[in-house]
Amino acid sequence: MKLSLFDSPTNIDSAVANASWANDNGFHRYWVPQVMNADPISILSVVGREVPRIRLGTSVVAMQTTHPQTLAQQALTVNGISGGRFTIGLGTNHEPVMENMFGIPWRKPYTHMVEYLNALIPLLNDRVVSTSGEFVSVQTGINVDAPAAGVMLAALGPKMLKLAAERTKGTITWMTGPVTIGSHIRPEIGRDAEIAAGIAVNVTDDPAAAVASANQELAIYGQLPSYRAMLDREGAEGPGDMVIAGDATAVREGLERYKAAGTTEAAINILGDREAALEVVGSFGSEI
């Protein structure tokens, strides 16, 4: 199982520094989310120029707020800048976020995603598309001199996992533990697809306090239906139960459980003492 760093920078200097650390420690990939911090596409454009070797990815861009032509142009541009190291992590945003924060109707996300891929993938591969649907209709072409970027889906349910297996390289998960990956994600997506699991890690001598803190800090994930379903499958009371908390031995053992479940990549999201966590996960090398 490859080790990667999940980072949510607020400025480019910290992004370059963190990506450089991950690169120097042999990590597989540097993931950046589309949240309320710095824009991931812009961040990864600079990181791709400044930092060699390490692969890059978004975890994830929401399809409802990004037109497929725009995303294809951005992805190909970043892929050209980075020498072919970029993967688009793509997902459907959550209903409360879309409707309450952005004022965008949230309905039929699976159908929407199918139609989105019908536009995005031809644009990435062929630079031209003609497709019509209920949500996405695009008749256009683009001209970007770069290799096609890879695509992965933030897929958790059976239909979306099947779509990820059929149309993309695999899935990116969050709030999804090793029991659920082994019993649900891997069987549904098949043995050949990639599974990049977002995993919260807190290196501490007080694991109980780390769990309690995460239950407060990450409380929203226990309320969003898709993640709540994954927590229930895992038998987790709250998001804090998904944190690997403790010393270096505890962290390694926790990561090994993900590997045994069929995870191909651990995207490590550091909580708590960042320096202590970097020292521990950096000592593991590039793989578990």
| pLDDT tens digits, 62-72 | 999 999 999 99
Convert the pLDDT of each residue in 20-38 to its tens digit.
999 999 999 999 999 999 9
Residue 57, amino acid: G
What is the mean predicted confidence (pLDDT) over 174-199? 98
| Ranges of H-type helices in 127-247 | 158-167, 178-180, 186-189, 207-217, 225-234
Task: Work out the percent of the chain whose per-residue pLDDT is above 70.
Answer: 100
pLDDT of 261: 98
Backbone CA torsion sign across 248, 17, 152, 214: positive
In this predicted structure, what is the pLDDT of residue 104? 83
236-266 residue pLDDT tens? 999 999 999 999 999 999 999 999 999 999 9
For residues 179 and 261, the answer to whether their CB atoms sit within 8 Å is yes
Residue 282 pLDDT class (50, 70, 90 cuts): very high
To the nearest whole number, what is the mean pLDDT of the chain? 97
76: confidence class by pLDDT, cuts 50, 70, 90: very high
Give the pLDDT confidence score for residue 178 in this predicted structure.
Answer: 98
pLDDT in tens, 98-151: 788 888 888 999 999 999 999 999 999 999 999 999 999 999 999 999 999 999
- Report CA torsion sign: 29, 33, 39, 41: positive
Picking from 61, 32, 35, the residue whose alpha carbon sits closest to that of residue 46 is 32
Domains of the chain by residue range: 172-288
Q: The dihedral of CA 231, 235, 240, 244: what is its sign? A: negative
Listed in sequence order, the residues at least 6 apart from 248 whose beta carbon sits closer than 8 Å to its beta carbon are 203, 280, 283
Cα angle 225, 231, 236; round to 5: 140
User: What is the pTM (predicted TM-score) of this model?
Assistant: 0.96
Q: Mind giving me the DSSP string for 14-69?
A: HHHHHHHHHHHTT-SEEEE--SSSS-HHHHHHHHHHHS-S-EEEES-EEGGGS-HH
